[in-house]
């Protein structure tokens, strides 16, 4: 009992520190937040897929097959076979790392259209209460927006709050690839916000791609907004533990393995890890060892990466860190006690990351705002133009 009380007190201390400097909406979120159910299993349809022998052989297990195995399997299929699998198992195919990119995009359009239609039916069901119908209307709208012409949805899973990942640029031809790993409150309903785009994964990814094009229009680039894990909701218990990050890390690792099998950039995809997303990146970093070149890992607005120093993340990553002075995350305790907290501050000299200037950025979500040093520097890192990256001025 005493241990439980101490844990509650520590959670309150971590959340309270942020609430004091970001009162209002954040305080309301903290009060209403609850623990999220992590998603670690394959999407709906996986059991039927595994039992399907209509092609005269077993299909690769969505839970265990590695990306090269999946890639080889799809390479062996006829167009008719692929069409059959897309039609019968769109959620499985659309989330299968190692499957051809164009096939995943097509499968996800089928899956998203089905989710939109299911939600519309619920929204029009007069036997449901008003709240349920309103939620269904929102889900139908969020899904429908993903079906706009030109959108390239790399992964979609309607379970829970909804997972979605999108590609910006030509991923198949890209010479440089970046993966944006967002933090708390990222889900289907908050994936692409028109009113305040930099609060959403889609808005940040578009901004990064635009800056890359401005700096080096001759280099083919692509950015993936990866909301491929269940993120914390608000500033509650999940935000101060690594539980969701530990479930997310294998999923991010599979994404990167799938990219190795289906894309051919000049360097490993760079990881841009915002807020709690940096905890996910810190968790997966020690597994990134199989490349001749280290993966660039940028932690910005980070509450910590689950370690005391960059050296603990292994030699497979080159860690960069950015935090602007007005970001409330700087007021959260940088420590780890009894499984709460995320370790040392990545922006300190003792941590050992390369500190990146974020001059001009404001708040927790302003790092990719137009004209900021952080936007310029993130694009330079994504492009491999390391000599163009600026460091913080003294006292910044």
Give DSSP secondary structure letters for 20-57.
Answer: HHSTTHHHHHHHH--------S--TTHHHHHH--TTSS
Nearest to 347 by CA among 283, 285, 301, 296: 301
pLDDT attached to residue 150: 96
Average pLDDT, stretch 248-261? Answer: 97
Domain 2-32+161-388: CATH class, spelled out: alpha beta
Residue 205's alpha-carbon distances to 31, 89, 198, 223, in angstroms, are: 30, 28, 9, 6
pLDDT at 396: 56
In the predicted structure, residue 238 carries a pLDDT above the cut 60 = yes
* Residue 3 pLDDT > 50: no
Tell me: the pLDDT tens digits for 42-80? 999 999 999 999 999 999 999 999 999 999 999 999 999
All structural domains of the chain with their residue ranges? 2-32+161-388, 46-136
Taking 90 as the threshold, does the pLDDT of residue 1 lie above it?
no
pLDDT over 80 (residue 17): no
Compute the C-alpha angle 197/199/329, nearest 5°. Answer: 155
In the three-class reduction of DSSP (H, G, I as helix; E, B as strand; rest coil), residue 79 is classed as helix
Q: Which phi and psi angles does 178 have, rounded to 5°?
A: -125, 145
Q: Sign of torsion, CA 136 141 144 146?
A: negative
Q: What is the DSSP letter of 218?
A: T
CA atoms within 13 A on the CB side of 201: 33
């Amino acid at each position: 009992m005493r241990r439980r009380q101490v844990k509650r007190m520590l959670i309150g201390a971590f959340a309270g520190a942020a609430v004091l400097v970001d009162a209002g909406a954040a305080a309301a979120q903290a009060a209403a937040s609850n623990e999220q159910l992590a998603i670690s299993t394959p999407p709906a349809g996986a059991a039927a897929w595994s039992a399907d022998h209509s092609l005269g052989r077993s299909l690769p297990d969505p839970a265990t097959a590695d990306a090269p195995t999946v890639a080889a399997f799809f390479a062996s299929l006829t167009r008719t076979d692929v069409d059959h699998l897309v039609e019968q198992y769109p959620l499985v195919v659309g989330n299968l790392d190692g499957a051809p990119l164009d096939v995943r995009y097509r499968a996800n359009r089928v899956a998203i259209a089905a989710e939109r239609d299911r939600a519309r039916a619920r929204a029009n069901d007069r036997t449901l209460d008003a709240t349920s119908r309103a939620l269904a209307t929102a889900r139908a709208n969020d899904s429908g927006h993903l079906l706009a012409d030109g959108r390239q949805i790399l992964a979609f899973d309607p379970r829970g709050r909804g997972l979605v990942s999108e590609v910006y640029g030509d991923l198949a031809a890209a010479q440089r690839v970046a993966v944006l790993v967002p933090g708390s409150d990222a889900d289907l309903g908050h994936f692409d916000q028109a009113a305040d785009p930099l609060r959403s994964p889609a808005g940040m990814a578009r901004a990064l791609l635009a800056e890359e094009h401005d700096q080096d229009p001759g280099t083919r680039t692509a950015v993936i907004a990866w909301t491929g894990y269940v993120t914390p909701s608000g500033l509650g218990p999940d935000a101060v533990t690594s539980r969701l990050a530990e479930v997310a890390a294998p999923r991010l690792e599979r994404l990167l393995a799938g990219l190795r099998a289906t894309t051919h950039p000049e360097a490993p995809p760079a990881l841009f890890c915002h807020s709690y997303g940096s905890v996910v990146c810190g968790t997966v970093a020690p597994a990134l060892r199989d490349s001749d070149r280290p993966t660039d890992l940028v932690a910005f607005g980070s509450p910590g990466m689950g370690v005391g120093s960059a050296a603990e993340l292994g030699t497979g990553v080159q860690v960069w860190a950015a935090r602007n002075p007005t970001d409330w995350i700087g007021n959260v305790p940088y420590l780890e006690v009894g499984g709460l907290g995320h370790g040392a501050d990545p922006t300190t000299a003792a941590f050992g990351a390369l500190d990146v200037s974020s001059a001009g950025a404001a708040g927790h979500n302003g790092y990719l705002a137009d004209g900021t040093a952080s936007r310029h520097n993130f694009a330079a890192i994504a492009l491999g133009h390391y000599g163009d990256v600026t460091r913080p001025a003294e006292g910044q």
